[in-house]
A and B are shown apart, each in its own frame.
Chain A
Amino acid sequence: MIDWINTLIQGLLTGGLYALFAVGLSLAFGVMRLVNIAHGDLIILAAYLALVAVEATGMPALAALLVVVPAMALFGYGLQRGLLVHTVGKGLLSPLLVTFGLSIILQNLMLEIFSADSRGVQAGLLETLSLEVVDGITVGVLPLLILASAVVVVGGLQLLFSHTGLGRSFKATSDDPETASLMGIDPKRVYALAMGLAMAIVAIAGVYTAIRTSFDPLNGPSRLLFAFEAVIIGGLGSLWGTLAGGLILGLSQAIGFRLDPGWGILASHLTFLAVLVVRPNGLFPRTRDR
Chain B
Amino acid sequence: MRKTSLLSMPPGVTRRTMLKTGAGLAALGAASAFPAPFVRAAKTFKIGFVSPKTGPLAVFAESDDFTMAQVMKAIGSGITVDGAQIPVEIVYRDSQSSSNRAAEAASELILDEGVDLVVAASTPATTNPVADQCEVNGVPCITNDTPWQPHFFGRGGDPATGFEWTYHFFWGLEDIIGSFTSLWSNLETNKVVGSLWPNDSDGNAWGDPKIGFPPVLAEQGYTLVDLGRFQSPADDFTSYLIDFKAKGVEIVTGVAPPPDFANFWAQAGQQGFKPKIATVAKASEFPAAIEAIGDRAEGLSVEVWWSPVHPFSSSLTGQSSAELAAAYTAATGRVWSMPLAFKHSLFEVALDAMKRSAGPGEPEALRDAIAATNLASIVGPVNFQTGPVPNISKTPLVTGQWQRPAAGKPLELVIVDNAMAKDIPVQAELKPLP
Chain A residues near B (Cβ < 8 Å): 3, 6-7, 10-11, 13-14, 17-18, 108, 111, 115-120, 122, 124, 127-130, 138-143, 212-219, 222, 250, 253-254, 257-258, 260-266
Contacts and interface: CB of A to CB of B under 8 A. Distances in A.
B25 interface: no
B262 A213 contact: yes
B262 A264 contact: no
B295 interface: yes
Contacts of B236: 10-11, 13-14, 250, 253-254, 257, 264
Contact of A216 (B259, B267, B271): B259
Main secondary structure of the interface of B (DSSP, over half): helix
Contact of A118 (B61, B242, B266, B292): B292
A271 to B, nearest CB: 15
Contacts of B259: 118, 213-216, 219
B90 interface: no
A258 B292 CA distance: 28
Given A138-B272, A257-B230, A118 B262 contact: yes
A138 B272 CA distance: 8
B62 interface: yes
A14 B235 contact: yes
A249 B168 CA distance: 44
Interface in B237-265: 238-240, 242, 246, 258-259, 262-263
Contact of B286 (A118, A217, A218): A118
Interface in B215-240: 227-231, 233-236, 238-240
B231 A120 contact: no
A213 B259 CA distance: 6
B96 to A, nearest CB: 11
Contacts of A128: 266, 269-270, 296
B419 interface: no
B260 to A, nearest CB: 8
A22 B73 CA distance: 51
B235 A214 contact: no
B411 to A, nearest CB: 13
A123 to B, nearest CB: 8
Given A142-B270, A143-B270, A261 B227 contact: yes
A18 B235 CA distance: 10
18 contacts: A7-B238, A14-B235, A116-B61, A116-B62, A118-B262, A122-B294, A127-B294, A128-B266, A128-B296, A130-B269, A140-B266, A140-B267, A143-B270, A215-B259, A257-B236, A262-B199, A264-B231, A266-B231
A120 B62 contact: no
Shortest Cβ-Cβ A-B pairs, 3 listed = A128-B269, A140-B270, A116-B58
Contacts of B239: 7, 254, 257-258, 261, 264
Contacts of B291: 119-120
Interface in B386-423: none
Contacts of A129: 270
A103 B417 CA distance: 44
A35 B234 CA distance: 25
